[in-house]
Amino acid sequence: MVCLGNICRSPIAEGIMRSKVKEHNLDWQVDSAGTESYHIGSKPHKYSQEVCEINGIDISGQKARQFNKADFGKYDKIYAMAEDVFEEIKLKGESDVQNVSLFLNELNSGANESVPDPYYGGQEGYTLVYELIDKTCDAIIKKYK
Ligand code: 4NP
């Protein structure tokens, strides 16, 4: 699960997906990262932590890290939370980007939609982001389990 800072959207995606993977007894490994370096080592944004906590998911132990080239070989699926993130990942991957896709295309195939960046807005943006990510994780579980 990849976004820009790895503090708002992708930590929520990691937390929700880990929780669903456990619920469905799957042996998938889930991780998240950001394409940018600004927040390396930081915990998820307080509103990301709060919206997850309200839904029974603890993401307080996560720490932001930067996406790197080795990730291409480590994961079967790499999901970009937004189109700008997808472009950044492609720049890092040269030709090695077959396993990268836009996360929301698992919900609305071919619509090429992005999870809105909640960083510059208020708490309500994080609720919307949570709901979108939750629905999309359900769709991914249904498709690949
Ligand atoms: P994220 O949100 O990519 O969902 O973690 C952002 C976090 C920080 C910044 C931009 C987006 N920033 O510019 O610092």
Domains parsed from the chain with CATH numbers: 2-144 (3.40.50.2300)
Mean pLDDT, to the nearest integer, of 8-22?
A: 98
Q: Is 117 in the pocket of ligand 1 (CB under 6 A)?
A: yes
Q: Is the CB of 38 under 6 A from ligand 1?
A: yes
| Mean pLDDT, residues 125-138 | 98
- Active site includes 9? yes
Question: For ligand 1, atom 6, which residue shows the shortest CA distance?
Answer: 5
Q: Is 8 a catalytic residue?
A: no
Per-residue pLDDT averaged across 130-135, rounded?
A: 98
State the pTM of this model. 0.97
pLDDT tier, 94 (very low <50, low <70, confident <90, very high otherwise): low
Q: How confident is the model at residue 93 (pLDDT cuts 50, 70, 90)?
A: confident
**Which of the following is catalytic: 8, 52, 71, 117?**
117
Q: Considering only CA atoms, which residue is closest to atom 8 of ligand 1?
A: 5
Q: Work out the mean pLDDT of the chain and round it to a whole number.
A: 96
Burial (CB < 10 A; 0-12, 13-18, 19+), residue 87, is: exposed
DSSP 8-class letter at 98: T
Decide if 76 is catalytic: no
Ligand 1 and 9: CB distance under 6 A: yes
Average pLDDT rounded to a whole number, residues 92-96: 74
Could you report the per-residue pLDDT of 28-72, keeping only the tens digit for each?
999 999 999 999 999 999 999 999 999 999 999 999 999 999 999
Q: Shortest CA distance to 73 belongs to which of 90, 93, 101?
A: 93
Q: Is the pLDDT of residue 104 over 80?
A: yes
Say how far apart CA 3 and CA 25 lie, in whole Å: 26
